[in-house]
Structure 1
């Protein structure tokens, strides 16, 4: 692709061949940049760095497809953090278990003044998990997403 004047010059050809070798890796990376930013396609060693961009906590012991799924769904998991739905989704995604949150805290509203307040406030939330799971792993996931002011109790139920 050199002009005709340089195409026959041996020095120009050797010089540009050397530049091709140096720049090919850079050009290849730039051409494939969208693939690096996609959790489904990013190289495994780049996935950890990509997870830090979205504050996704990855366990190195997780299989690669699970780590990719956590990075891909990180923003949705952050939106649900501290909610019953978010906790159930996190347990399902990271441990593959079915869970239910029995929310203890009460809340009421009324259009009329002086409405009764909820009964005695419950200071704990019960997280029920079904199946054969490692209790420590479940408790670690629950502790990582449970609000600080609430005490979460894990109950593991046998499959019916």
Structure 2
């Protein structure tokens, strides 16, 4: 939709093209609101608080001479709401140029008491009038001012609920504002419900919610461990219960606590960052007869060795170790996860090949 204004002897033709038109025109529902009449003729530019909107101004030179020009927007609205962008300051004979009016109102418009009209029962003004003033050859004897028709700026809250109404109801401005009341009341609860899954995942839940999630899966929330470790352990608590008392369960627990790799692709257990081995010799064999799993020369039944190895330092000298290992806590984890009749040895090997054991 385009509108223009021509004087009796115009030098230019001004067309206005709004980039965002309100679906519901002001003045349609005056019978419900009791508001004063509002001229719905002409163009209306829709503005949402905090969102930019544009009005395109097309200017055509109707003379045979080049014209220098400047733009100014005037109306009953704060001037800081509007910024003007132009393609230049001169228009050639019979040529056209465009300017863009960028409108942006504060996101807190509806909460700002300065937008209340004084002396009008504290009514919030949502409709403003403005026009474009074009100064031709400013500062010369041939200076002339051309003015466009007035257009309306309609400020409306953005409402998703209007999309659920038939088109007939969207055309009533009062219904749009009325629906926005329900949207502001119910939408926060709907948004909270849509992200409820994040509150039930220990990796994304708020820290204050972690004790509840731990209690939900029967996990002891330990303040000694760091929060990222607690999140990983709570998330895989059921899996740890399933494998408790086994090598796989112990390795998984140590992996979640220390951050060391499981190294499932490494066949040799001794080469893994978390290795759990059972020291024993070969079975005693006489010719082709084998005596079960008897061990000659010593050995300890139901005994295993746990070795934790930090990755080697990088060439830059930075350590790749994911967490600082707390040896007493490692011992407590092993005591908790191993069968009661088993004994163990613990070796912690740093990136400098220094071994500490208990």
Q: TM-score range by the shorter chain?
A: 0.5 to 0.7
- Residues 150 and 33 of structure 1: CA distance in aligned 2, closer, same or farther (over 3 Å): same
- Is 1:58–1:67's contact at 8 Å kept on the other side of the alignment? yes
Alignment of 1:1-150 (within 5 A): 32-97=195-260, 98-103=273-278, 116-120=291-295, 122-131=301-310, 133-150=325-342
What RMSD over aligned residues (CA atoms) do the two structures have, in Å?
A: 3.4
1:152 aligns with 2:344: yes
- Residues 83 and 104 of structure 1: CA distance in aligned 2, closer, same or farther (over 3 Å): farther
Q: Could you list the per-position Cα deviations for residues 25-69 of structure 1 after superposition, in whole angstroms to 9, with x for gaps in the alignment?
A: 877765654332222232211111111121223322333322221
Give the 3-state SS of the residue equivalent to 2:307 in structure 1: strand
The equivalent of 1:3 in structure 2 is none
Structure 1 residue runs of 4+, over 4 Å off?
23-32
Give the 3-state SS of the residue equivalent to 1:128 in structure 2: strand
Q: Choose 1 or 2 for highest CA Rg.
A: 2
Count how many residue pairs are aligned between Structure 1 and Structure 2.
Answer: 137
- Residues 31 and 158 of structure 1: CA distance in aligned 2, closer, same or farther (over 3 Å): closer
Q: Which runs of 5+ in 2 are unaligned?
A: 1-31, 34-180, 261-272, 282-288, 311-323, 354-358
Shift of 1:102: 0.7
Structure that is richer in strand per residue: 2
Structure that is richer in helix per residue: 1
- Residues 157 and 42 of structure 1: CA distance in aligned 2, closer, same or farther (over 3 Å): closer
Q: Which runs of 5+ in 1 are unaligned?
A: 1-6, 9-16, 107-113
Shift of 1:88: 1.3
- Residues 63 and 156 of structure 1: CA distance in aligned 2, closer, same or farther (over 3 Å): closer
- Is 1:146–1:152's contact at 8 Å kept on the other side of the alignment? no
Q: Which structure carries more relative contact order (alpha carbon 8 Å, separation 6+)?
A: 1
Larger deviation, residues 59-68 vs 24-33: 24-33
Shift of 1:101: 0.6
In the aligned structure 2, how far is the partner of 1:42 from the partner of 1:135?
29
TM-score (norm 1): 0.65
In the aligned structure 2, how far is the partner of 1:69 from the partner of 1:153?
26
In the aligned structure 1, how far is the partner of 2:280 from the partner of 2:195?
49
- Is 1:104–1:122's contact at 8 Å kept on the other side of the alignment? no
- Is 1:124–1:151's contact at 8 Å kept on the other side of the alignment? yes
